[in-house]
Amino acid sequence: MTVSHSTDYIVSPGGALHGRIRVPGDKSISHRAVMLGAIANGQTSIRGFLQGEDTLATMAAFRAMGIKIDHGGEDVSIHGAGLYGLKPPAHPLNLGNSGTSARLLAGLLAGQKFDCEIIGDASLMKRPMRRVTDPLKEMNADISCSEQGTLPIRIRGGRRLQGIDYTLPVVSAQLKSCLLLAGLYAEGKTCIQETVATRDHTERMLQHFGCVLEKKNNAICIRGGSEFKASEIVIPADISSAAFFIIGASIAEGSDITLENAGVNPARIGVIRVLQSMGADITLTNQRIASSEPVADIRVRASQLHGIAIPPELVPNAIDEFPAIMIAAACASGKTVLRGAAELRVKESDRIAAIAEGLHAIGISVVTHDDGMEVTGGRIRGGTVNSHTDHRIAMAFAMAGLKSEEAIRIEDCTNVNTSFPGFIELAQIAGLNIRREIPGAS
């Protein structure tokens, strides 16, 4: 018997999605809750924490820096040590596959008194990091990455950071958050100017902990030395994980599903706006605020979709959902055009290439560009798709099985656990004909 650690998904044709389900907690918010809870004063209680490999890597990093964390399922208690209470880790901090962890921690650690190193898995070690190390150097951090601009990031502690005025050269909430966290340790004021608004989970959570931010036009400013107190945080369900079921229900005839308690932060619902522009039947109900974040139940019913030119202003706020959106495009009448999405090239995989390769494999016509693609809707034949170990590619093509004529095999789906543990089980409950297979197992 051949020993293999990879997992393939096999999706049989047909089916529809029904019922009321809740996807796991928001990954972006879970990361930030651990980070801010660790450097706050007092004990922070978290409910709805995502138990994915990425967020657990963040938790492990702070435990390695002396933070006591009590973890029981989705409930987490963090004993904060204050801004300067972290301890030197004995080994490099391994963030696995999590780009969010690596980039945000670079900012938080740049102002510490100790040296440290950030590493990750093979995929993360290839992702661009100069976008955070260069501005941190402008703040007087002693920080470096590899000659290729990738991990490892090495930080020498004990530097006195200086506040800066900085305009983001790329549309990146991770870069913005990195510099805001570094700004907590800087002398004076750090102001970040955005040309396009990105997700604001860091700002909302800083304020939830009692930190004072200044907002004017498109700039966010923070003053160094701003101590803040522990808090209680309720994490909503992740809209990026809900997106797979939103797309699945939109394309599968007879579907009617409700995603409960989903985060609907205005900077995260680009996927809903894109799909509604394509004709999707999506309704938000029970809208409310939980721990400074907007939350709602999302009802989705099957509809006839049509291709569109995706509005450029929606692209940054749907960047993580485009693998799923392009499955909707494959099932829509006419052509869907995506441009201005070059960031997809430097995600967990080159997602433009991976999406196009997968769509070609199941019989859909695609033309790629440096910053996007054109997808012409058609019949999904079925076939074999390489996920390129990218969790969002894997889950997106699983939903394509709802409209396929033959089975779809998606190879190497192990990394789905980074963001959506229990995906197969929840998808089966909802009505997707999916199972896992271990290649070479007998």
Q: Return the number of other C-beta atoms located less than 10 Å from residue 228's C-beta.
A: 22
- Per DSSP bridges, beta strands 372-376 and 365-369 are antiparallel
Residue 383 phi, psi (nearest 5): 145, -165
Is 72:260 a contact under the CB 8 Å cutoff?
no
C-alpha to C-alpha distance for 334 and 274, rounded to whole angstroms:
15
Angstrom distances, CA of residue 92 to CA of 60, 74, 132: 12, 27, 18
Residue keyed to tokens 């779809």: 408
Relative orientation angle of helices 270-277 and 239-251, to the nearest 10 degrees: 20
Buried b / exposed e across 111-142, counting CB within 10 Å, b at 16+?
bbeeebebbbbebbeebbbebbbebbeebbbe
Residue keyed to tokens 């522009």: 277
| Both structure tokens of 271 | 């996927």
Spatial neighbors of 214 by CB under 8 A, at least 6 apart, are 189, 191, 220, 221, 222
- Which residues are identified as catalytic? 320
C-alpha to C-alpha distance for 64 and 314, rounded to whole angstroms:
39
Q: Taken in order 88, 93, 98, 103, is the CA torsion positive or negative?
A: positive
C-alpha to C-alpha distance for 305 and 330, rounded to whole angstroms:
10
**Element spanning 183, H or E:** helix 173-183
Q: Return the number of other C-beta atoms located less than 10 Å from residue 74's C-beta.
A: 15
DSSP 44-79: EEEES---SHHHHHHHHHHHHTT-EEEEETTEEEEE
What 3-state DSSP class applies to 97? coil
Count of H-run helices and E-run strands, the chain: 12, 25
C-alpha to C-alpha distance for 164 and 45, rounded to whole angstroms:
33
